[in-house]
A and B are shown apart, each in its own frame.
Chain A
Amino acid sequence: MSQNINKASSSRFWYDPKVRSILFQLLFIGLLVFFISNIITNTTNNLEQRGITTGFDFLSQEAGFGIIQSLVEYDETHTFGKTFIVGLLNTALVAVLGVALSTVVGFLVGIGRLSSNWLVARLSTVYIEIFRNIPVLLQILFWYIAVLQVLPSPRQSITLGESIFLNLRGLYIPAPVFGEGSGIVLGAFVAACMAAFVLSHWAKQRQVKTGEVFPVFRVGLGLIVALPIVVWVVAGQPISLEMPVLKGFNFRGGITVMPELIALLLGLAFYTAAYIAENVRAGIEAISKGQREAAGALGLSEGRIMSLVIIPQAMRVVIPPLATNYMNLIKNSSLATAIGYPELVNVFMGTTLNQTGQAIEIIAMTMAVYLTMNLMVSLFMNWFNTRMALVER
């Protein structure tokens, strides 16, 4: 027996798993370096042959084309670099609005699916099955072509209280105009938010001392809403609303939300919400019936059982797939190209690329944007998840 072991230990060094693993890794790295350097030299050679200059100089050249929606000041005299910023911000706008809307709808539908109300449960199920099983591109096109483009013309706009108008050119909503002294109102809003924060802290302290539960949410919300309104009235209504008004064939004033943005937002949010709803349902169903019974047997009400026992445990099941859904929504926003919403892929990888021909630089920059955005979402959700995680042995 001992002879055998001796034999083995004196055998050739590449039978040692450690040596082997190092050798294989060195080999792999070598191949990778060779492969990448080959691609780079090849590409630079090809580009030189065709007379295409590389580098990021084009970013400071004049763009010469307009973009229909921009969150920052932009016209055709601005640079290609600015088109990148405009596209990036438009993508970010859809991402933020989409994540918010899909979360709200997703949680409502997910909880609704478990409702004891037959109608609510069935409607939620139908919603999920429809929106989950149709390609998201088709849904975006549906909203754009089948819903928004058959809306009436501006003169026959659908209107809500003569201040919000919806027609085939988009959604028109009143815009706030900040007059002199509006800083006080904004200050009041910030102060109310801070007061609500202090209030919740105080309520917790009081609960510890006296046991009385203070309705923090209702009072806090009331404070945040009421205080700015009171200050606004007292300060002589410094913030006014600019109403959209029909002038000729179109509306002037107010904020215009273009139909492309509405279609993209509805398509992405409703599609993603169906997945989030299923995650929420799975999270709640993952909690054993015994938890609900034990909490009920202690005399806790239905609402408290949900908020103190079920939801905190369900969240740890819901959060990881939630991150995946948010990232999918951000990536899917590039489908806007199909309906002409001017987000990053459409503007920068579309028009700017066509105008400059700097394919490698532009595609690399665009990819880097999505990568960065999704890594940020991922980092945030991981942090959130560790906060909610369950302590085990």
Chain B
Amino acid sequence: MHAEVEEKEKQSVSLKHMAGTETMIELRGVNKWYGDFHVLKDINLTVRKGERIVVCGPSGSGKSTMIRCINRLEEHQEGIIDVNGVTLTNDLKNIEHIRKDVGMVFQHFNLFPHLTVLENCTLAPIWVRKMPRKETEEIAMKYLERVKIPDQANKYPGQLSGGQQQRVAIARSLCMNPEVMLFDEPTSALDPEMIKEVLDVMIELAQEGMTMICVTHEMGFARTVANRVIFMDGGQIIEENAPEPFFNSPQSERTQLFLSQILSH
């Protein structure tokens, strides 16, 4: 057990130095409204290549909406979003181009129930990347092995547990060979004993240098993996800091209150 903790600490130390200087995602003055409701208020955020950002905050604070704007599942009304050098506009080709490079994992997995695990993984590489089926199957098996469920490849999502489904969802995104991975509360719909298996996969991914933005309340994960932790409330970024100072000496009162509530038990 001790060895494991030390191992984790070593990882976290080694991870801290991995972020590059190249900008991967940039949000400048992003504003979004749902009707009269102002969901995102003047969001400014720069994510460098290889950086791992954890976004936390109370529900309704706009954290999911923010990352969903990055691959245009939600439309923003003001401001500029740059992803890997491409600026998001209403141009469909532009959006499809960005979506190829940005993988996303959802709270409720959203696997395609009419396709096998393998077919879930090969669908996008075949139809979007236009790769030979054989090759996509090899890639899919490689990633299914990495998330430790190659033996389930020919089952249907309905036959798997929640944790297994979420790991398939991660593998499915990885098959597109994305530059960035977005995680929208990936463990919130899971039973406690399945959370670890999903977080382990995510930590491994971080070690390999994947650029990640994770909306999550797993503070242990944030401490181990994140370069920066962002706290959002009321559609604004309230505080942004490295995990140590963020958890040990939060600056704003709102952050202190939030942390005391989620870390108190």
Q: How many A-B residue pairs have CB under 8 A?
A: 85
Are A298 and B173 touching (Cβ within 8 A)? yes
With a CB–CB cut-off of 8 A, which chain A residues contact B111?
294
- Asked if B104 lies at the interface with its beta carbon under 8 angstroms from chain A, I say yes
Look across to chain B and name the residue whose beta carbon is closest to the beta carbon of A388.
Answer: B114
With a CB–CB cut-off of 8 A, which chain B residues contact A213?
127, 130
Look across to chain B and name the residue whose beta carbon is closest to the beta carbon of A392.
Answer: B158
Are B73 and A308 touching (Cβ within 8 A)? no
Interface hits, B44-94 → A, CB 8 Å: 71, 73, 92
Are B159 and A297 touching (Cβ within 8 A)? no
Q: Taking A211-B131, A293-B73 as contacts, is the C-beta distance between A309 and B112 under 8 angstroms?
A: yes
- Asked if A9 lies at the interface with its beta carbon under 8 angstroms from chain B, I say no
- Interface 1/0s, chain A 284-312, versus B by CB < 8 A? 00001011011111111110100011001
With a CB–CB cut-off of 8 A, which chain B residues contact A210?
132
Are B133 and A297 touching (Cβ within 8 A)? no
- Asked if A313 lies at the interface with its beta carbon under 8 angstroms from chain B, I say yes
Contact among B106, B112, B128, B136 with A299 in the assembled complex (CB-CB below 8 Å): B128
- Asked if A33 lies at the interface with its beta carbon under 8 angstroms from chain B, I say no
Look across to chain B and name the residue whose beta carbon is closest to the beta carbon of A298.
Answer: B124
Q: Which of the candidate stretches B95-103, B223-231, B253-261 sits at the interface with the other chain? A: B95-103
- Asked if B113 lies at the interface with its beta carbon under 8 angstroms from chain A, I say yes
With a CB–CB cut-off of 8 A, which chain B residues contact A208?
132-134
Q: Taking A298-B99, A393-B159 as contacts, is the C-beta distance between A207 and B133 under 8 angstroms?
A: yes
Are B106 and A290 touching (Cβ within 8 A)? yes
- Asked if A391 lies at the interface with its beta carbon under 8 angstroms from chain B, I say yes
Q: Taking A291-B110, A391-B158 as contacts, is the C-beta distance between A298 and B123 under 8 angstroms?
A: yes
Shortest B209–chain A CB gap in Å is 22
With a CB–CB cut-off of 8 A, which chain A residues contact B131?
211
With a CB–CB cut-off of 8 A, which chain A residues contact B132?
207-211
Are B114 and A313 touching (Cβ within 8 A)? yes
- Asked if A212 lies at the interface with its beta carbon under 8 angstroms from chain B, I say yes
- Asked if A1 lies at the interface with its beta carbon under 8 angstroms from chain B, I say no
With a CB–CB cut-off of 8 A, which chain A residues contact B112?
291, 294-295, 309, 313
- Asked if A5 lies at the interface with its beta carbon under 8 angstroms from chain B, I say no
Look across to chain B and name the residue whose beta carbon is closest to the beta carbon of A289.
Answer: B110
Look across to chain A and name the residue whose beta carbon is closest to the beta carbon of B74.
Answer: A293
Are B127 and A300 touching (Cβ within 8 A)? yes
- Interface 1/0s, chain B 125-148, versus A by CB < 8 A? 011111111111000000000000
With a CB–CB cut-off of 8 A, which chain B residues contact A302?
92
Are B106 and A294 touching (Cβ within 8 A)? yes
- Asked if A29 lies at the interface with its beta carbon under 8 angstroms from chain B, I say no
With a CB–CB cut-off of 8 A, which chain B residues contact A209?
132, 134
Are A297 and B99 touching (Cβ within 8 A)? yes
With a CB–CB cut-off of 8 A, which chain B residues contact A212?
130
Look across to chain B and name the residue whose beta carbon is closest to the beta carbon of A204.
Answer: B133
- Interface 1/0s, chain A 351-393, versus B by CB < 8 A? 0000000000000000000000000000000000000001111
Are A296 and B99 touching (Cβ within 8 A)? yes
Q: Taking A208-B133, A211-B130, A213-B130 as contacts, is the C-beta distance between A299 and B159 under 8 angstroms?
A: no
Choose among B96, B127, B158, B172 the residue with the greatest number of A CB atoms under 10 Å from its CB. B127
**Chain B interface (Cβ < 8 Å from any Cβ of A):** 71, 73, 92, 96, 99-100, 102-104, 106, 108, 110-114, 123-124, 126-136, 156, 158-159, 169, 172-173, 176
Query: What are 18 pairs between A and B in contact, CB < 8 Å?
Result: A208-B133, A209-B132, A211-B126, A288-B110, A290-B106, A293-B73, A296-B99, A297-B102, A298-B99, A298-B124, A299-B99, A299-B176, A300-B123, A300-B128, A308-B123, A390-B156, A391-B158, A393-B159
Going nearest first, the 9 A-B pairs with the smallest beta carbon separation are A294-B110, A298-B124, A211-B132, A290-B110, A299-B99, A297-B104, A299-B100, A208-B133, A299-B128
What 13 additional pairs, Cβ within 8 angstroms, besides A209-B132, A294-B111, A390-B114? A208-B132, A211-B130, A290-B106, A290-B110, A293-B110, A294-B169, A295-B112, A299-B100, A299-B128, A304-B127, A313-B112, A391-B159, A392-B156
